[in-house]
Structure 1
Amino acid sequence: MASLKEIHGKMANDPHFSHDHGSTRCIWVPGPVIVGAGPSGLAAAACLKDKGVPSIVLERADCIASLWQYKTYDRLRLHLPKKFCELPMMPFPEGYPVYPSKQQFVGYLEDYAKRFGIKPVFEQTVESAEYDECVGLWRVRSLGLKGAEMEYVCRWLVVATGENAEAVVPEIKGVENFCGEVKHTAEYKCGSVFRGKKVLVVGCGNSGMEVCLDLCNHDAHPSLVVRDSVHVLPREMLGRSTFGLSMWLLKWLPIRLVDRFLLIMSWLIFGNTASFGLDRPKIGPLELKSKTGKTPVLDVGTLAKIKSGDIKIHPSIQSIGNHSVQFVNGRVERFDAIIFATGYKSNTPFWLKDKEMFSEKDGMPRKPFPQGWKGEYGLYAVGFTRRGLFGSSMDAKRVSEDIEKLWKAEARHLSMTIGRSLTLQR
């Protein structure tokens, strides 16, 4: 591997030089390497480009926003109004509805990439990223098509793989013996294939609730496993989005008063959710989100189906048989399929060789929001705020501003070094 001095010398003539190091092709990247071409990675690349800083985006899939394109169900819409989900420097088209569909959001992201000239290197699975203290650079090793090994060497590394990189499937006794279909919501597209079937959905977050509603709309017979207490809020209150109203109230009132208001309004609209199997946590929805990252469910019609009995509620699963499921209350029921709506997790512990910034336990930044975007030695994070796309945009702006200062300082230093070298040669 070339030394930092040799890299800077070659970069003066060719800022994108590369060379082979054994069986691995090594590429010097003068700007940051961004891992992940989802909304967070695109936002980071666009903000950096706006600051005059070039970057390269590595993506393991064959397209941008692969989670949205390949691992989401057809009926999905943004849970928050579009104004809270815009990426920096580009609003949604005026003709888009308040809650854009999955297809509309993917189209928006594709247009965003085109507008800012972002061309990710696709099908590059990053296997390791490690800071080399000897040369003061990051080494990002990836595996491409046909097993081709690459090493990207850079001064700054931006982790944009996000909180939802890998599907989470709980280990439940006997699940391997179940004769029906078992899948995660990452594989679920539409309820039409389950028409007339009894389907058990495990997990009562936004995805689990929406999948149950979708199954109902396609004449399936869904049941929902509710393992913990959950806050269910109406998507809109007083003619405004619940999220937008909450953000406005938080400007004037403490979080506990806003939570109390949300719960009173929810009770007026829904009644006591505990009466049909949905106990609420003791902590209010916004405070709970702030402390644990657990997002309240924004209802889009599922609660009415639960009230009517079209969706049945069950407690945690004790074990699974060939055709049946036994719950912790002793009840046993037959099902044709099981769908795990058990969420996703970060995969940073598997490839990022840094133990300071990210927790090995959950792959999230150790520092709480809003301090979790910056680490040591040029390491940054975008999209790990537990605040959705709104948080990603905030991170992308902070990261680009910080790197811009360092980029300009190092460019001046390099320019002076090359200038002195040329003067001595004369």
Structure 2
Amino acid sequence: MKNTERPITWLVPFSSLLRLEHGAAAAMAPEAVVTEEEVIIVGAGQSGLAAAACLSLRGVRSLVLERDDCVGSLWRKRAYDRLHLHLAKKYCALPHAPHPDDAPTYLPRDDFARYLDGYAARFAVRTRLRREVRSARYDPVAARWEVEAVDLATGNAERYAARFLVVASGENDERFVPEVPGLEAFPGEVMHAVDYRSPKGMRGKAVLVVGFGNSGMEIAYDLAAAGAVTSIVVRGEVHLVTKEIWNVAMALYPYLPLWIIDKLVLLMSAVVFGDTAQHGLRRPAMGPFTMKDTTPAYPVFDVGTYAKIRAGEIRVLPAAPKSVRGNVVEFEDGERHPFDAIVFATGYRSAVRRWFKSEDGLIGNDGMAARRYPEHWKGENGLYCAGMVRRGVYGSGEDAELIAGDISKLLHPEEEQANTGKPGHAHRNGY
């Protein structure tokens, strides 16, 4: 079927993007009137924006509460300069807004940030920025969700109520840095990957990257390419692939069993990389696509890092840091090496459990979806979660369509029945 949806325009002025709501939830005492909404969405990242857009297209009013001062803050404020999306653009478009034909196959960070800005503007997503949610609980008597937030610009408390609540704050909420005795006295620069932008000023310096996911591997490459003496900690097993190999796997996913896709991916990877274990990158026994389908683990997309490892420009260290004394880091295997800077690419943690006060089995103790795909997105009493099973941009869009369809069916059952089968109402498979 021919795609009749218009590609979204990227270069939308940021000042014209958002309809920031004012007035109704100004500073209020605890007894003040509560702001009533049909749907409250927590988080204005890709998942929250997609949910709001899909609801809007079905005539359902929603309000997005966002802690930061912009939409898509992960891409605008917490990603390094050289970042490009690892999947082809057709897998990285939100519902009803394909990327333009002339867009790069693998979008740069800034292009995707502009895409999210334009998406919010195009679908008139209602947001209240700099709102930090402090509590969300279900009131069974009133049959509604009660949400308490703080306006970070003024410090004023705000209260909201809605029949439906969508948790869309994602997994990349707050940085995680492991405890390493002596780290606080390290004389050089210490940062988390969230603060890393470029290798400026690192030339000739000995830099340790802790963490071997996509961020760690790409930051290590960035540093080495700029002339830093780079080491990376790789403790566990990792599947190394190229973007092209993975996109072949994505294309085959609807048609072949996972075990066949795994064998094809491993065969192609062997041709491209050879035996990565010889250079400290041991592959797991579980195949890469099966692992992605059944666990939170994702393969590492090589951007040139492996060639630098083979050439000796990046040193692989097999043990985690144990302690720090001065500028010397001691590792768990007893090795000691001096460094001028340390970058922790050790991931993030969800902070949902700090404010989410319901217990119905939808949100796990780690703040992510407690149930596996595809049963993960809907809870009880009008509770939903979007983008909480680590399925990327494509998964955010799929969740949004499911949530919007379900809420619309509950609010307007006759209209939703008539719309079944129209564009925007189909279940989409994939990653």
Cα separation, 1, equivalents of 2:194 and 2:335: 28
Q: Could you say which residue in structure 2 is the equivalent of 1:369? A: 373
**Code of the aligned partner of 2:66:** E
Cα separation, 2, equivalents of 1:251 and 1:154: 38
Residue aligned with 1:223, SS: strand
Q: Could you say which residue in structure 2 is the equivalent of 1:172? A: 180
Q: 1:120-160 CA deviation, whole Å, 9 max, x = no partner?
A: 10010001100011211111100112210001111000111
Q: Mark the CA change 1:58 to 1:131 in structure 2 (over 3 Å): closer, same or farther.
A: same
**Which of 16, 38, 43 is the matching residue for 1:31?**
38
Cα deviation for residue 247 of structure 1 reads 2.6
Q: Could you say which residue in structure 1 is the equivalent of 2:339? A: 335
Q: Could you say which residue in structure 2 is the equivalent of 1:108? A: 115
**Which of 292, 296, 306 is the matching residue for 1:293?**
296
**Which of 70, 73, 83 is the matching residue for 1:76?**
83
Long gaps (5+) in structure 1: 1-15, 412-426
CA contact (8 A) 2:28 2:157 kept: no
Structure with the greater alpha carbon radius of gyration: 1
Cα separation, 1, equivalents of 2:42 and 2:25: 19
**Which of 391, 394, 400 is the matching residue for 2:395?**
391
Cα deviation for residue 410 of structure 1 reads 11
TM-score normalised over the length of structure 2: 0.87
CA contact (8 A) 2:377 2:399 kept: yes
Q: Percent identity?
A: 45
Q: Could you say which residue in structure 2 is the equivalent of 1:130? A: 137
Cα deviation for residue 217 of structure 1 reads 2.0
Q: Mark the CA change 1:34 to 1:359 in structure 2 (over 3 Å): closer, same or farther.
A: closer
Residue aligned with 1:236, SS: helix
**Code of the aligned partner of 1:349:** R
Q: Choose 25-34 or 276-285, whichever is displaced more.
A: 25-34
**Code of the aligned partner of 1:283:** M
Q: Mark the CA change 1:408 to 1:183 in structure 2 (over 3 Å): closer, same or farther.
A: same
Cα deviation for residue 24 of structure 1 reads 6.2
Q: Mark the CA change 1:72 to 1:25 in structure 2 (over 3 Å): closer, same or farther.
A: farther
Residue aligned with 2:308, SS: helix
CA contact (8 A) 2:362 2:377 kept: no
Cα separation, 1, equivalents of 2:27 and 2:334: 63
CA contact (8 A) 1:26 1:150 kept: no
Residue aligned with 1:146, SS: coil
Cα separation, 2, equivalents of 1:123 and 1:335: 38
Determine which structure has the larger helix proportion and give its number.
1
Q: 1:7-47 CA deviation, whole Å, 9 max, x = no partner?
A: xxxxxxxxx97798634654333320011011111100000
**Code of the aligned partner of 1:342:** T
CA contact (8 A) 1:19 1:25 kept: no
Q: Mark the CA change 1:24 to 1:304 in structure 2 (over 3 Å): closer, same or farther.
A: farther
Q: Mark the CA change 1:57 to 1:309 in structure 2 (over 3 Å): closer, same or farther.
A: same
**Code of the aligned partner of 2:179:** E
Cα separation, 2, equivalents of 1:191 and 1:26: 51
Q: Could you say which residue in structure 1 is the equivalent of 2:61? A: 54
**Code of the aligned partner of 2:172:** N
Q: Could you say which residue in structure 1 is the equivalent of 2:252? A: 249
Q: Could you say which residue in structure 2 is the equivalent of 1:143? A: 150
CA contact (8 A) 1:24 1:151 kept: no
**Code of the aligned partner of 2:314:** I
Q: Could you say which residue in structure 2 is the equivalent of 1:204? A: 212
Cα separation, 2, equivalents of 1:159 and 1:33: 9
CA contact (8 A) 1:324 1:332 kept: yes
Q: Mark the CA change 1:410 to 1:150 in structure 2 (over 3 Å): closer, same or farther.
A: farther
Cα separation, 2, equivalents of 1:358 and 1:173: 37
**Which of 309, 315, 323 is the matching residue for 1:306?**
309
CA contact (8 A) 2:37 2:63 kept: no
Once superposed, what is the RMSD of the aligned Cα atoms? 1.9
Q: Could you say which residue in structure 2 is the equivalent of 1:162? A: 170
Cα deviation for residue 250 of structure 1 reads 2.7
**Code of the aligned partner of 2:380:** E
Deviating runs (4+, > 6 A) in structure 1? 16-21
CA contact (8 A) 1:28 1:153 kept: yes
Q: Could you say which residue in structure 1 is the equivalent of 2:424? A: none
**Code of the aligned partner of 1:35:** V
Cα separation, 2, equivalents of 1:317 and 1:245: 37
CA contact (8 A) 1:178 1:323 kept: yes
1:64 aligns with 2:71: yes
